[in-house]
Structure 1
Amino acid sequence: MLPSVPTTLPGSRPPSSDPLKKKPEPQPKPQSMHGRALHQSTSSISSSAAPDELTQRFANLMGTTHPINTVASTASSEFSVKMPSPSDYTSASRPLGPRDMPPPPPRAAPPPPRLPLDTKMAAGMPREPSPTYSPARNLSLPASINPPRSTARSMVGTGGRSNSIAASSASALAPGTNGDSDSYFPPQSNTNGASTERRKSVHKPTELQITAEKLYDYIRMFNILLIDVRSREEFDAGHIWVNNIICIEPTALYDGISAEQLLDRLVVGPDEESTMFSKRNEYELVIYYDESTKTNAFLHKHVRSERETSLKRLYDALYEYNAEKPLQRPPIFLMGGVDAWTELVGTASLKMSTTASQGQKALTLRRAPATSRTVSANLQRRRLREYAPMDPEEERRWLEEARQGRAVFDQSLEEDEEGEDATSPMYRTTEDFLRRFPEVDAGYAHQSMVYPPPRREPVAQYVAPSIPEAPSRPPPSRPRTSYSGVHERQVKPQTHNQQLPIYVSPGRHGQMRLHKTGLINFGVTCYMNSVIQCLCANADLSNAFLSGRYVRELQRDNWKGTKGIIPEAYATLISNLYKGDVSSIRPSTFRRACGAFNKQWVIDQQQDAKEFLEFLLDCFHEDLNITWAKPPLKELTEADEIARENLPRPYVAKVEWNRYLHRENSLIGNMFAGQHASQLTCVTCGTTSTTYEAFWSISVEIPRDRPADLRDCLRSYCSTERLSGEDIWRCPRCKVDREANKKITITRAPDFLVVHFKRFSASRNESARKVRTPINFPLHNLDLEPYMEPPITEEQQAYVMANARDGVAQLTGLKTDPAMNGPFVYNAYGVIWHIGSTLGSGHYISLVRDKARGCWRSFNDDRLRDFEPGQLTGDDRLQSEKAYIVFYERERVAGGVP
Structure 2
Amino acid sequence: MAANARYSLPAGYNSHAANGAGGKPALPHIDDVLALPTDVDSKKPLKWLLEQAEMSLRQSEMSRDFNRPALALKDFIRASIITVQLVSHHKDYLMLKEGRGDLSRKHAALMTRIKQQNDIYDQLKKDIIADNKRTGVLPKSQKPVQSQSNGNHKSAAPHISSSNGHAMTASGKVKPKVHPKPQSLQGNAVSGHARSSSTNTVNVDLAARFANLRGPQTTPGQDPRIKTHQIPSLKPAGPRDMPSSPQKSEPGATHTFPSLPKMPDAIYHPARGSVSSDAGHPPATTPRGSSSRATPTPSLSNMPSPVSARQSMEYFPPVPANATGSRSLLQSSISNNEADSITAEELFQAMKQTGSVLIIDIRSRVEFDEGHIMSSSTICVEASILLRDNISAAEITESLVLSPNQEQSQFDQRNKYELVVFYDQDSEEIPRSPRSSDDMVIVSLHRALVHFNYERELKQPPKILKGGLDAWIDLMGSASLQSTSLNSSSHIPASRARSGTFQRRRSKYIRPLRADEVKVWQETLQNEEMGANQPPEYHRSTESFLRRYPPILTEQESMTSSPATEQPPRYTSLHKIDPYTDLPSPPTRPAPSVPRLSYSSLSHTSDEIDRFEEPVTRRQTVRPKNVAEQVTGDGYKLYTGLNNPHNWCYANSTVQSLLASPDFGKELSDSTWTKEYRAPKKDSEKIEPPQLMIRIMSNLFHWMSTGNLEVMKAQTLMDYSQHICKQSRSNAQFGGTQQQDAQEFMSFLMEQLHDETNSRRNLKGNAMQPNTKSQPLLYAAVQYWYNHIQYNDSIVDRHWRGLELSTVKCQDCHTKTYTFSPFEWIPAPVALGSTRQTLEQSLHQHIANNTLDDFSCDKCRRNTRAMQSISFARLPPLLCVCFRRFNYNQATGDIKKSTAPVTWDFNDFDFSPYFFENGNGRPPPGTNDHAYQGPFRYECYAVIVHAGSRTDNGHYFAYVRDQSTHDPYAWLCCNDSRVTRVRIGSGDRDDIQNEVFKSGQDRVPYLVFFRRKG
With structure 1 as the length reference, what TM-score do the two structures score? 0.49
Q: Which structure carries more helix by proportion?
A: 2
Which structure would you say has the larger RCO, counting Cα contacts within 8 Å and 6 or more residues apart?
Answer: 1
- Please tell me whether Structure 1 or Structure 2 has the larger radius of gyration of its CA atoms: 1
With structure 2 as the length reference, what TM-score do the two structures score? 0.44
